[in-house]
Amino acid sequence: MIKNIQQRYHHGDLRTSLIKATVEMINKQGVEAITMRSLSNWVGVSRTAAYRHFSNKVDLLTATATEGFKQFSLALRVARLDYSEDELGRFRLMGQAYVQFAIEHSAYYGLMFSDASIQKTDAFDEASSAAFTELVDILVTLQEANKIKTEDPKMQANFVWSLMHGFSSLLINGKLQHIDDLSKEMTYLDQKIMASLVE
Amino acid sequence: MIKNIQQRYHHGDLRTSLIKATVEMINKQGVEAITMRSLSNWVGVSRTAAYRHFSNKVDLLTATATEGFKQFSLALRVARLDYSEDELGRFRLMGQAYVQFAIEHSAYYGLMFSDASIQKTDAFDEASSAAFTELVDILVTLQEANKIKTEDPKMQANFVWSLMHGFSSLLINGKLQHIDDLSKEMTYLDQKIMASLVE
DNA sequence: TAAAAAAGTAGACATCGTCAACATCGAGGA
DNA sequence: TCCTCGATGTTGACGATGTCTACTTTTTTA
């Protein structure tokens, strides 16, 4: 007779489940509320089971942030491959996708850019710079097609990235005042970026 | 005979000392390393003495962040009152002062914008929005003097603030790649902001 | 100057991260 | 088929931490 899933000794895919549980718990209660015990309990496993998959709590959180960056890069890439738009339109879609990801996955986003709860690893750096590369790439392409100014693309990327990250994180933390119409605010930013990059 | 300061039963100005110690410890070891016990020990006081001045750890960190915002506002205001420059020049000085504060007081800055370690209070919100007001104010003044475009100053402020905050926090966390010349990078941003705001 | 308020201390306890030792399971070679 | 071994999960234990309670010492005030 096959045992009930909840009662099996071996969980099956504990590593993935723990990361999912971490994201859910951050969304509901914030990072500070995360404990190895409550996490294990939530997943239905004993206190120290997580240590078979992560060397410690920081390692688990870092892995979660790394996973976040992967999904983030994916979201940006999806926007970049929307061929119903021209290249410049796709670039603007990426901007929308950026903010949308930050809002919809604020737990991930906060963790990804929190220096406190995380300790950088090679995997983390790789996932994190992949997202940045996504941005530099399209800027280079746009320059080659003469759609935007010819400037150091890394500087352009730092500019756009700073603006997007600043806006998203201030928005998430409720530090931007008097925003009744988000899309209006984003349109404003879009105009500023376009004016800054287009000749 | 007057007792040695270190041996006095009453510390004298424990509240202030604790906040200072918090800043120092964050600078040296990061927020995670902060414990009530090590903090008290550092200041030369017993474990629970801090609880006479702060209701708990979060309260202490929030008070520290609030103090950070006060000094931050002050730094912005000092730049704004540099009358060797005209109004537009002072606005640009504020931008430099912003990034400079973030770099020189990265412990403060990280804490001020960390939603994890802090819990908003009235005093915190007040100090935090004072800094924002500093920015809106000068934008209004610049508009009235016809130095920049006439637009919703709050939107302009959100734009500038997002850019400054994004750049500063990415810079602090080492997420901006290939920055060998910081002043060159800041000049680039300055040009973008000017082009965006000036008619 | 006496009494109360303010500031600091020590004991105690629940919770947390995590190490060590032990238990159970699944896969593959004898 | 059985046996063994590596992977995975469990329980016990311990030191560190936040913070409550009760007590002590100093300062303020009436």
Provide the residue-wise pLDDT of chain B in tens; the chain has 199 residues. Answer: 233 444 575 777 999 999 999 999 999 999 999 999 999 999 999 999 999 999 999 999 999 999 999 999 999 999 999 999 999 999 999 999 999 999 999 999 999 999 899 999 999 999 999 999 999 999 999 999 999 999 999 999 999 999 999 999 999 999 997 788 999 999 999 999 999 999 8
Domain boundary pick from B53, B72, B91: B53
- In-domain check, residue A123: yes
Shared domain check, B81 and B44: no
Q: Is the CB of B51 under 7 A from strand D?
A: yes
A32 inside 8 A of chain B by CB: yes
Answer yes or no: do A36 and A112 share one domain: no
Are B122 and B172 in a shared domain?
Answer: yes
First to last CA, chain A: 71
Taking the CA of residue A34 and the nearest CA in chain B, the distance in Å comes to 11
Q: Does A120 lie in the same domain as A90?
A: yes
Of residues A2 and A4, the one with the higher pLDDT is: A4
Residue A96 in domain: yes
Query: Is A90 a member of any domain?
Result: yes
**B115 and B129 in a common domain:** yes
Cβ within 8 Å, pair B116-A170? no
Q: Determine whether the interchain pair A113/B175 forms a contact, defined as Cβ–Cβ distance below 8 Å.
A: yes
Round the average pLDDT of chain A to a whole number and report it.
94
* CATH number of the CATH domain containing B95: 1.10.357.10
**Given an 8 Å threshold on Cβ–Cβ distance, is A154 in contact with B189?**
no
Residue B9: predicted pLDDT: 58
Are A61 and A78 found together in one domain? yes
Does residue A46 share a domain with residue A63? no
Give the mean pLDDT of A143-147.
Answer: 97
The answer to whether the Cβ–Cβ distance between B115 and A165 falls below 8 Å is no
Residue A111 near residue A68, CB atoms below 8 Å: yes
Residue A10 has pLDDT above 80, yes or no: no
Nearest to A165 among B110, B170, B188 (CB): B170
Same domain, residue pair A111 and A43:
no
**Can you tell me the mean pLDDT for A63-84?**
97
> Which bases of chain D come closer than 7 Å to a protein CB?
7-13, 16-22, 25-27
- Please identify, among B53, B71, B90, the residue that sits at the C-terminal boundary of a domain: B53
Are residues A64 and A47 both part of a single domain? no
Q: Are residues B121 and B144 in the same domain?
A: yes
Q: Show the domain range for A20.
A: 9-53
Whether residues A45 and A64 share a domain: the answer is: no
Nearest CA in chain B to A125: B175
Question: Is residue A1 a part of any domain in this protein?
Answer: no
User: How far is A46 from A52, CA to CA, in rounded Å?
Assistant: 11
**Integer Cα distance of A97 and A48 in angstroms:** 38
Question: Which one of B31, B165, B177 has the shortest CB-CB distance to A166?
Answer: B165
Q: What is the pLDDT of residue B177?
A: 74
The model's confidence at residue A199, banded by pLDDT at 50, 70 and 90, is: confident
Rounded CA separation A107/A110 (Å): 5
Q: Please report, for the domain that includes residue B28, its CATH number.
A: 1.10.10
Q: Which residue has the higher pLDDT, A8 or B132?
A: B132
Query: Looking at the 3D structure of chain B, how many domains does it have?
Result: 2
Q: Which residue in chain A has the smallest CA separation from B26?
A: A116
Q: In chain A, what residues touch B163 (CB-CB under 8 Å)?
A: 159, 162-163, 166
**Do A60 and A26 belong to one domain?**
no
